[in-house]
């Protein structure tokens, strides 16, 4: 099946004021600069274009000089690779000198700057990423990318194994771009080459693997592609453990309008707290990402042991001690399972907490309140507050001033 590409969208792209100013400055009789890659691809598919990259015949120092003479800010964000970020009226554009790979080791390339758009295109990963657009509106396609884009097919440029050996991360990118842009099964040659060269993933940094995996998890066809990864023996190695497809599918159905990668990873791969610890090491997760996985595991364990159906009161107690979004993801993941059972009022209450129409209850006492009442500083304060918090939870998490005064009086009497 093929789909018509929106050539008119390319003209609209060129009429963006800041982008046109940039291209007019960087094109003349001696030098040529084009829009390249994702911006061209997404415009043809009528998808949002949020970032625009350009490629040019100019060397990095010349890019810097011309930008400054035009009154643009120029930042050498990747000058060793030929990339300069040029900011036009507050909007950034990356401009990269045309390149050829001189030497590769599967992780990085030694490049030589050039002036040949064809050679630059053929060193890229996929045909759909090698399209470029000139200031005059001409679309340049040296690898068959437009046909692949219309057919919703992700295909390596040239021989797939050669492209992969240049950078083994292209295996992950192959599956991620398939999930985001393709229809049907993965390209057979690309899939076979990825399987043959999979051992190359071991030489990559865990951070690079994590970056691609989290992007894949929120792609349009994440569910089908994750199963392809599993069926062909990639997924267990990436996760360092087993996957829970049912929960992952339920979460992707629930959060499709606003997917969060780390919550999808939790649904896919976290069953117990040990899974959160393993994934932190396996994927070099940030502290915040690990915290979310651990919160998911803790809530999952708590909710699986609930004997009674959850009502609005139970939800209020839960959000008093747990992030509402984490609770929402766990309940979405376990929907339809024997436990927990959640009634309609509970789901409505959780929605209010998540969208902010009802504030999350906050425990009304502080250590300073006890000290002011005469309790000496020390570990006893924490013990008393913990006991008071248990009472507060059992009594419905009230936050009004009258209740707070009464609770403080009880605590002081007991103290």
Do 36 and 55 touch, CB atoms closer than 8 A? yes
- Three-class SS of residue 364? coil
DSSP three-state, residue 398? coil
Give 126's strand partners: 156
Strands 53-56 and 91-97: parallel
Per DSSP bridges, beta strands 99-104 and 91-97 are: unpaired
Cβ–Cβ under 8 Å, residues 392 and 407? yes
Return contacts of 17-22, CB within 8 angstroms, 24+ apart.
17/89, 18/88, 18/89, 18/90, 18/91, 18/93, 19/52, 19/88, 19/91, 19/93, 20/135, 21/88, 21/89, 22/54, 22/72, 22/86, 22/88, 22/93, 22/95
Asked whether the beta carbons of 88 and 16 are under 8 A apart, the reply is no
What is d(CA 262, CA 264) in angstroms, rounded to the nearest whole number? 5
* Listed residue (334, 267, 261, 336) closest to 296, CA to CA: 267
For residue 380, what pLDDT is reported? 87
pLDDT given at position 413: 82
Question: Contact at 8 Å (CB) between 177 and 194?
Answer: no
Strands 73-78 and 99-104: unpaired
Per-residue pLDDT of the chain (415 residues; tens, 9 = 90+): 567 899 999 999 999 999 999 999 999 999 999 999 999 999 999 999 999 999 999 999 999 999 999 999 999 988 888 999 999 999 999 999 999 876 666 666 667 899 999 999 999 999 999 999 999 999 999 999 999 999 999 999 999 999 999 999 999 999 999 999 999 999 999 999 999 999 999 999 999 999 999 999 999 999 999 999 999 999 999 999 999 999 999 999 999 889 999 999 999 999 999 999 999 999 999 999 999 999 999 999 999 988 789 999 999 999 999 999 999 999 999 999 999 999 999 999 999 999 999 999 999 999 888 888 888 888 888 899 999 999 999 999 999 999 999 998 888 887 6
d(CA 351, CA 330): 14
Handedness of CA 345, 348, 350, 353 (dihedral sign): negative
Strands 53-56 and 73-78: unpaired
* Three-class SS state of 12: helix
């Amino acid at each position: 099946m093929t789909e018509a590409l929106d050539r008119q969208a390319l003209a609209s792209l060129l009429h963006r004021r800041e982008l046109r100013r940039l291209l007019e400055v960087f094109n003349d009789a001696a030098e040529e600069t084009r829009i390249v890659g994702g911006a061209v691809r997404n415009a043809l598919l009528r998808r949002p274009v949020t970032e625009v990259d350009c490629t040019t015949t100019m060397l990095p120092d010349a890019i810097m000089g011309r930008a400054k003479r035009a009154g643009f800010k120029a930042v050498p964000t990747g000058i060793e690779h030929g990339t300069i970020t040029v900011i036009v009226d507050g909007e950034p554009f990356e401009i990269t000198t045309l390149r050829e790979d001189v030497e590769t080791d599967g992780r990085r390339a030694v490049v030589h700057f050039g002036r040949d758009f064809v050679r630059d295109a053929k060193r890229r990963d996929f045909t759909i990423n090698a399209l470029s657009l000139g200031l005059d509106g001409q679309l340049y396609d040296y690898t068959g990318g437009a046909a692949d884009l219309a057919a919703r097919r992700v295909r390596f440029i040239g021989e797939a194994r050669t492209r992969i050996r240049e950078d083994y991360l292209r295996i992950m990118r192959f599956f991620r771009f398939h999930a985001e842009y393709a229809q049907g099964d993965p390209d057979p040659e690309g899939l076979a080459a990825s399987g043959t060269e999979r051992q190359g993933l071991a030489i990559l940094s865990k951070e690079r693997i994590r970056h691609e995996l989290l992007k894949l998890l929120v792609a349009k066809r994440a569910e089908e592609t994750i199963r392809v990864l599993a069926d062909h023996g990639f997924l267990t190695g990436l996760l360092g453990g087993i996957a829970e497809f049912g929960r992952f599918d339920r979460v992707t159905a629930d959060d499709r309008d606003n997917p969060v990668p780390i919550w999808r990873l939790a649904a896919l791969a976290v069953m117990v707290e040990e899974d959160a610890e393993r994934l932190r090491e396996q994927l070099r997760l940030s502290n915040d990402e690990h915290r979310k996985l651990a919160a998911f595991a803790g809530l999952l364990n708590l909710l699986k042991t609930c004997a009674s159906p959850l009502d609005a009161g139970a939800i209020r107690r839960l959000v008093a001690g747990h992030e509402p979004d984490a609770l929402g993801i766990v309940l979405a993941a376990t929907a339809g399972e024997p436990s927990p059972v959640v009634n309609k009022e509970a789901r409505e209450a959780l929605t209010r907490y998540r969208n902010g129409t009802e504030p999350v209850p906050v425990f009304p006492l502080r250590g300073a309140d006890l000290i002011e009442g005469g309790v000496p500083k020390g570990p006893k304060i924490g013990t008393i507050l913990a006991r008071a918090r248990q009472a507060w939870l059992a009594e419905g998490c009230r936050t009004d001033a009258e209740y707070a005064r009464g609770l403080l009086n009880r605590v002081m009497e007991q103290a």
